[in-house]
């Protein structure tokens, strides 16, 4: 019997795609996070439980899972804020294949960063002087607003367009592309704009804004994608890109 004063009823996804939810009783602790709950099950009830975490302080982006139907960073999500009558349902991130239990396969997420040309392309060599960047220019302000992404995959799991269109690059990769498009030191914008103006690129976004709603870093990838749509359309009209 569950004692709602001292115990949580925690339902965890077990197995791969053909797995099922399994319920565990976990003692309530003060200031308990979702990651604490998962770790407690793994250390006290079932050591075969697979899940991913590293820093435990909201920096590494490893521990994102689906908690009561919503994608969240589990190390910074308090049980008291999300438990529903002492009940938690925790699964792997959506829109990604399941490896096992709570660990999703992040490969397609990171491959799309590569497809969106999310790698910095230097315009100078180490022999050149360091370029001075003024923090208050509009381009740098745009970069600063987009740059704090921790690659947790929460936006990707929350995105309807990712769910419906497997070719869609997703909010995180496009947000990264936007931060590089505005980086005056970067020299790879023609290839980048061509990549994000193709099918499955920024123009596939429906602006549902789930990415903005769930981003644990309170970034706004939808705004970044809107910026990319404008920039790519301008570049196309001016003949700079041929997607």
Partner 1 sequence: MNVRLYLWQRLTAVLMLPLILIHLAVIFYATSKGLKAADILARTRGSIAWASFYGVFVTAAAIHSVIGIRNILIEWSSLSKRGAGLLAIGLGITLLILGVRAVAAVVLP
CB of 201 to partner 1, least distance (A): 7
The Cα 21–Cα 30 span in angstroms is 26
Q: Is 239 in the site for partner 1 (CB under 8 A)?
A: no
Q: Is 232 in the site for partner 1 (CB under 8 A)?
A: yes
Q: What are phi and psi of 35, to 5 degrees?
A: -65, -35
CB of 242 to partner 1, least distance (A): 10
Stretch that binds partner 1, among 17-25, 141-149, 174-182, 194-202 (CB under 8 A): 194-202
Q: What are phi and psi of 11, to 5 degrees?
A: -105, 120
Residues in the chain: 243
Q: Is 208 in the site for partner 1 (CB under 8 A)?
A: no
Which has the closest alpha carbon to 217: 46, 49, 61, 42? 61
Please, are residues 101 and 15 in contact by the beta-carbon 8 Å criterion? Answer: yes
Stretch that binds partner 1, among 17-25, 104-112, 132-140, 225-233 (CB under 8 A): 225-233
The Cα 174–Cα 126 span in angstroms is 28
Looking at beta carbons only, is 76 or 203 nearer to partner 1? Answer: 203
Among 55, 69, 164, 208, binds partner 1 (CB under 8 A): 164
Please, are residues 165 and 201 in contact by the beta-carbon 8 Å criterion? Answer: no
Looking at beta carbons only, is 132 or 237 nearer to partner 1? Answer: 237
DSSP code for 131 = P
CB of 240 to partner 1, least distance (A): 11
The structure tokens 């077990």 sit at 14
Q: Is 117 in the site for partner 1 (CB under 8 A)?
A: no
- Contacts with partner 1, residue ranges (CB under 8 A): 161, 164-165, 167, 197-199, 201, 203-204, 229, 232-233, 236-237, 241, 243
């Amino acid at each position: 019997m569950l004692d709602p004063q001292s115990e949580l009823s925690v339902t965890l996804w077990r197995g791969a795609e053909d797995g099922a939810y399994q319920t565990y009783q976990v003692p309530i602790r003060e200031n308990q996070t979702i990651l604490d709950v998962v770790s407690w099950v793994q250390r006290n009830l079932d050591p075969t439980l697979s899940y991913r975490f590293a820093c435990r302080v909201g920096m590494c982006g490893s521990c994102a899972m689906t908690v009561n139907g919503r994608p969240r960073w589990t190390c910074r999500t308090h049980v008291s804020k999300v438990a529903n009558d002492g009940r938690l349902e925790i699964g792997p991130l959506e829109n990604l294949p399941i490896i096992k239990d709570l660990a999703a396969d992040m490969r397609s997420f990171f491959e799309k960063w590569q497809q969106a040309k999310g790698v910095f392309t230097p315009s100078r060599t180490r022999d050149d002087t360091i370029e001075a960047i003024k923090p208050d220019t509009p381009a740098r302000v745009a970069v600063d607003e987009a740059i704090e992404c921790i690659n947790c995959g929460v936006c990707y799991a929350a995105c309807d367009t990712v769910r419906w269109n497997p070719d869609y690059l997703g909010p995180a990769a496009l947000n990264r592309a936007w931060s590089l498009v505005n980086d005056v030191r970067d020299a790879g914008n023609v290839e980048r704009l061509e990549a994000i103006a193709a099918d499955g690129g920024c123009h596939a976004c429906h602006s549902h804004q789930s990415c903005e709603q769930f981003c644990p870093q309170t970034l706004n990838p939808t705004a970044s994608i809107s910026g990319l749509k404008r920039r790519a359309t301008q570049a196309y009209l001016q003949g700079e890109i041929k997607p």
